[in-house]
Amino acid sequence: MNNINPSSKGILGLEAINRGELVIAFEHLNTAVVQGDRHTNVLIGLALVARAQSKFEISLEAVDRFLQKQPNDINGNIVKGDALSALGRTRAAINFYMAAIRLSLEIRDLPVNLARDIERCKKACEEVQINIEKTMQSSFSELGLGQGSGQSRIEQTVDILMGRKQAYAQKPSKLYFPELPQIQFYEPASFDWVENLIARKEDIKLELLDLMSEDKLFEPYMAHNPNAASGNTGLTEDDKWSSFHLIRDGKELKKNIACCPRTYEIISALPIAKIPGRSPNILFSLLKPGAHIPSNSR
């Protein structure tokens, strides 16, 4: 029955809960539900007292019916998680613990008892996550997968699955070129010119240090452009983020190149895309301590 009010047995059971008489409450509420009482207070009441008496099958059946009517109830999700966990269905339990955690984020001030239960749910989720990861790592080791550096595709997969890393995709501000590989960081060994570049790093560093000794050589990276809407980045014409270009939008800056001839020689010898008015852009970028580049900067 979809009763608007609890049945007489249901009322007796709820009153017994208020008095702290859980055994009597269970008897009345269980009878009420068996007789067809489907009032939400009766269902969650039975789920709670059944949990308290370790009658987890009955608790699970009652809270299942309750959640069909109140799927976003935090307590209901916690009770179902507890019942499933006690019955050995741990991974299924985590789904409901996580639902309770998500729902709790919408409440500014959680009651003390509920906050305590949410912390318990979080710990349960963390324990399961650790166990799952250990199992996965063991399986990977048996298969000879994973290098132990944290950079292999398998290890990155585990890190993303466990929430330690974010999955990145290219989000260019000007031109999206389809079907490029979505690789966050490329390995140096993927490019035959990297070794020579690294071998000359000291030459580049020395020229950079000379530039930095004269702060006025650098200019704000985010220059005001009256023909473009750049948004409110907070860094326009601000020297907290500055730059020293050798080539800007494909145009060589002869005066700047004269200050860094070795850097220009090293970088310009690389296989760089040359698009008139667009690329390359070769520069030193200087970010001062405490400065922050907003995500909407380009």
pLDDT at 165: 79
Radius of gyration in angstroms for the set of CA atoms belonging to the chain, rounded to a whole number = 31
- Contact in structure between 246 and 256 (CB atoms under 8 Å): yes
| pLDDT at residue number 111 | 92
Main-chain phi, psi angles of 260, to 5 degrees:
-135, 60
Residue % of the chain over a pLDDT of 90:
60
Is 150 a residue whose pLDDT tops 60?
Answer: no
pLDDT score recorded for residue 129: 81
Write the pLDDT tens digit of every residue in 259-288: 999 999 999 899 998 988 889 999 999 998
Q: What is the average per-residue pLDDT within 237-263?
A: 93
- Convert the pLDDT of each residue in 44-87 to its tens digit: 999 999 999 999 999 999 999 999 999 999 999 999 999 999 99
278 CB-near residues (< 8 Å, 6+ apart): 249, 250
Comparison of pLDDT for 232 and 160, the residue scoring more: 160
Smallest CA-to-CA distance from 58 within 22, 95, 91, 87 is with 87
Q: Domain 8-126: which CATH class?
A: mainly alpha
Residue 19 has pLDDT above 60, yes or no: yes
- Proportion of the chain in helix, strand, coil states, percent, rounded to 5: 55, 5, 40
12 pLDDT more than 90:
yes
Contact indicator for 282, 253 with CB cutoff of 8 Å: no
What does the mean pLDDT of the chain come to?
88
Q: 170 — alpha (psi -120 to 50), left (phi > 0) or beta? A: beta
How far apart, in Å, do the first and last CA atoms of the chain sit? 61
* Residue pointed to by tokens 């109830």: 73
Give the residue extent of every domain in the chain.
8-126, 189-287
What is the pLDDT at residue 166? Answer: 80
Per DSSP, the three-state class of 56 is helix
Q: Which residue has the higher pLDDT, 123 or 222?
A: 123
Q: What is the pTM of this model?
A: 0.55
In 211-292, the DSSP E strands lie at 219-220, 241-248, 251-252, 282-287
Alpha helices in 213-274 (DSSP H): 254-259, 261-268
Q: What is the pLDDT of residues 90-143, one digit of tens each?
A: 989 999 999 999 999 988 888 999 999 999 999 999 888 888 778 777 777 777
pLDDT at 233: 59
- How many whole angstroms separate alpha carbon 44 and alpha carbon 159? 38
What three-state secondary structure class fits 242?
strand
Model pLDDT, residue 60: 97
